[in-house]
Amino acid sequence: MNNNTQESKIQLEYINKCTELVKEKYKKAPAFFIQNAGCQMNSLQTDTVAGIVKRMGYTEVSREEDADVVIYNTCTVRENANLKIYGHLGHLKSIKKKNPELKIVLFGCMMQEPEVIEKIHKEYSFVDLVFGTHNFHKFPELFYRSLNTEGQIIDVWKESDEIVEGMPSDRKYSFKTGVNIMFGCNNFCSYCIVPYVRGREKSREPEAIIEEIKGLVADGVTEVMLLGQNVNSYGKTLEHPVTFAQLLKQVEAIEGLKRIRFMTSHPKDLSDELIRTMAESKKVCHHLHLPMQSGSSRILKIMNRRYDKEKYLELVAKIRNAVPDISLTTDIIVGFPGETEEDFQDTLDVVEKCDFDSAFTFIYSKRSGTPAAKMENQVPEDVVKDRFDRLLALVQEKGRKASSRFEGTVQEILVEEESREKGIFTGRTEYNLLVHFPGCQDLIGKYVKVKLDTCKGFYYFGSLAE
Ligand code: SAH
Ligand code: SF4
Ligand code: F3S
């Protein structure tokens, strides 16, 4: 593995070259529009690209119509995500007719699909620059080429074993941020396209992660979210293997850091060591996102999840025993090929037993190239829809009940922003529960105690307790 800082130097030079070019090209500061799709790892890369174009002299705008550059970071985990991008492109075509100088940039997971690239090349020739997940770090260089070219540039790599450190980024909040600890996925759940578009699992060196977080803390960050498709297998492929729990302890030792979160945990790799670390730590938040996907052992086997219903329930019991106040959330897929009513009842049963604080529910989406896409027994749409509605009703009812356990208590929250309603601010408890309360601007980025007065289902209305 090559943790290449030389490459980031080259790219920083390209940023400077672009800055000069932009100064020559535009009389006043040009504008960019950027949109993110997909998971938090994508969102972090969106922040990096936004940070880079800002350095080049662009200012951010909130409408495509006002932009000189429109950038979409794409996701392809479900078909819907792709359809949305094609919809946006239709809209952009008409904007570009009026403003032929407009640059359109697409990158991210969807661009790793050969059919997508073919379609963009043939039907969307007005898109200027396309790159993928493996050459993401080349963005400044590619953008420089695009600024100097009229035609379409498509540069998508099949694989890369490089992790490029030290790229500039622009975070949304000054006091909290995500930090990638690994890239890619080796699990090949049979429904999932991520391993195909993100490539093999690669962990960053712990030293690089710690150094980055120390830098962030020095710059005002007090909460980090460590990100990976399966953080529980962090470090296994490093030259000197490190477990995720060991990494957490190193992060915990960073002075000035107050809260540590992580995402996502695969149940098959969740170790006792990690549970113990969560229980003992003063900084790791008591919130665990533990995607179950299905409650049926039969379906879980075909999904290639490598745990069954009993193992999942045992794991939840073990976690609750060690960390009694834990907040648990999950992901569930409905309508996986061959799912019967009996299988679905198992899913409902697990939801009934686990008391999740919330659950993301998804209708199974067929992704080409995955083993599940070739399965013949796809479930009819009306059956899936009916199951989905029943699941959602149960998830919401249980979620409301679970969240209401905090009613009347005083909790510490990190204040994030003013809500749409003036004078009402929002923040999150360590359990990741959103709280709205009357406050003031000075509180943003601070930890304050609030009394959770009224549970509104998935959030609270509270009042300052100090
Ligand atoms: N690595 C994470 C999940 C990343 S994708 C994990 O394994 O937990 C986020 C969620 O999208 C998954 O948990 C799954 O519930 C959902 N998902 C993935 N592929 C899907 C598909 N083909 N159809 C519907 N939902 C899917
Ligand atoms: Fe997809 Fe499974 Fe990897 Fe998660 S663990 S990204 S669901 S293959
Ligand atoms: Fe989507 Fe890629 Fe994340 S497919 S969910 S953006 S890893």
* Atom 7 of ligand 3, nearest CA residue: 194
Please state, for a pLDDT cut of 90, what percent of the chain lies above it.
94
Sign of the alpha-carbon torsion through 374, 380, 383, 384: positive
- Distance, in Å, from the CA atom of 416 to the CA atom of 427, rounded to the nearest integer, reads 5
- Distance, in Å, from the CA atom of 460 to the CA atom of 454, rounded to the nearest integer, reads 6
Assigned token pair, 119: 């379609």
Binned at pLDDT 50, 70 and 90, residue 167 comes out as confident
- Distance, in Å, from the CA atom of 145 to the CA atom of 122, rounded to the nearest integer, reads 21
Instruction: Count Cβ atoms within 10 A of the Cβ of residue 181 and give its class: 0-12 exposed, 13-18 middle, 19 or more buried.
Output: buried
Chain Cα centroid distance, residue 291: 14
- Residue found by looking up tokens 């000189």 in the block: 68
Kindly write down the DSSP assignment for every residue of 342-404, as one continuous string.
Answer: HHHHHHHHHHHHH--SEEEEEE----TTSGGGG-S-PPPHHHHHHHHHHHHHHHHHHHHHHHG
Q: What is the pLDDT of residue 160?
A: 83
Ligand 3 neighbour 77 (Cβ under 6 A): yes
CB 412 within 8 A of CB 424: no
Q: What is the pLDDT of residue 330?
A: 98
- Distance, in Å, from the CA atom of 294 to the CA atom of 330, rounded to the nearest integer, reads 10
Q: Which ligand minimizes its atom distance to the CA of 42?
A: 3
**pTM for the predicted model, two decimal places:** 0.95
pLDDT at 196 over 70: yes
Chain Cα centroid distance, residue 263: 8
Those residues with Cβ within 8 angstroms of residue 98's Cβ, 6 or more apart along the chain or in another chain: none
Average pLDDT estimate for 279-288:
98
Any binding-site annotation on 18?
no
Q: What is the pLDDT of residue 3?
A: 52
Sign of the alpha-carbon torsion through 83, 264, 326, 415: negative
Mind listing the domains of the chain with CATH numbers?
A: 6-155 (3.40.50.280), 176-404 (3.80.30.20), 409-464 (2.40.50.140)
Question: Over the chain, what is the mean pLDDT?
Answer: 95
- Distance, in Å, from the CA atom of 149 to the CA atom of 143, rounded to the nearest integer, reads 10
Task: Encode pLDDT of 133-152 as tens digits.
Answer: 999 999 999 999 999 998 99
Kindly write down the DSSP assignment for every residue of 139-171, as one continuous string.
Answer: HHHHHHHHHT-SS-EEE--S---EEE-------
Q: Measured over all CA atoms, what is the biggest interatomic distance in the chain, rounded to whole angstroms?
A: 66
- Distance, in Å, from the CA atom of 68 to the CA atom of 86, rounded to the nearest integer, reads 20
Point out the ligand 3 atom lying closest to the alpha carbon of residue 229: 7
φ, ψ at 109 (rounded to 5°): -55, -40
Q: Which ligand minimizes its atom distance to the CA of 364?
A: 1
Average pLDDT estimate for 285-294:
98
Point out the ligand 3 atom lying closest to the alpha carbon of residue 110: 4
Average pLDDT estimate for 333-361:
98
Q: What is the pLDDT of residue 1?
A: 40
- Residue found by looking up tokens 């943003």 in the block: 444
Please state, for a pLDDT cut of 70, what percent of the chain lies above it.
99
C-alpha 341 – ligand 3 centre gap (Å): 29
Binned at pLDDT 50, 70 and 90, residue 6 comes out as confident
Q: What angle do CA 232, 234, 240 make, to 5 degrees?
A: 140
Q: Which of 344, 418, 423, 431 is nearest to 387 (CA)?
A: 344
- Distance, in Å, from the CA atom of 105 to the CA atom of 131, rounded to the nearest integer, reads 8
Test site for ligand 3: of 36, 42, 200, most ligand atoms within 8 A of the Cβ = 42
C-alpha 192 – ligand 1 centre gap (Å): 6
* Pocket of ligand 1 from Cβ distances under 6 Å: 77-78, 191-192, 194, 229-230, 264, 266, 291, 293, 331, 333, 362, 364-365, 367
Binned at pLDDT 50, 70 and 90, residue 127 comes out as very high
Assigned token pair, 246: 């060991």
Distance set, CA 359 to CA 289, 311, 329 (Å)? 9, 19, 5
SS percent in the chain: helix, strand, coil, step 5: 40, 20, 35
Average pLDDT estimate for 413-434:
97
Any binding-site annotation on 189?
yes
Distance set, CA 400 to CA 18, 410, 452, 460 (Å)? 51, 18, 14, 11
* Pocket of ligand 2 from Cβ distances under 6 Å: 185, 187-189, 192, 194-195, 229-230, 266
Q: Contacts for 249-252 with beta carbons within 8 Å, 24 or more apart?
A: 249/277, 249/281, 250/206, 250/210, 251/209, 251/210, 251/213, 251/224, 251/226, 251/283, 252/281, 252/282, 252/283, 252/284
Sign of the alpha-carbon torsion through 274, 279, 283, 284: positive
Q: Is 447 helix (H, G, I), strand (E, B) or coil?
A: strand
Test site for ligand 2: of 133, 185, 292, 303, most ligand atoms within 8 A of the Cβ = 185
C-alpha 188 – ligand 2 centre gap (Å): 6
Binned at pLDDT 50, 70 and 90, residue 162 comes out as confident
pLDDT at 4 over 80: no
Task: Encode pLDDT of 381-391 as tens digits.
Answer: 999 999 999 99
Q: List the end-to-end C-alpha distance of the chain, in Å, as a whole number.
A: 51
- Distance, in Å, from the CA atom of 67 to the CA atom of 127, rounded to the nearest integer, reads 15
Sign of the alpha-carbon torsion through 399, 402, 405, 409: negative
Average pLDDT estimate for 362-377:
96
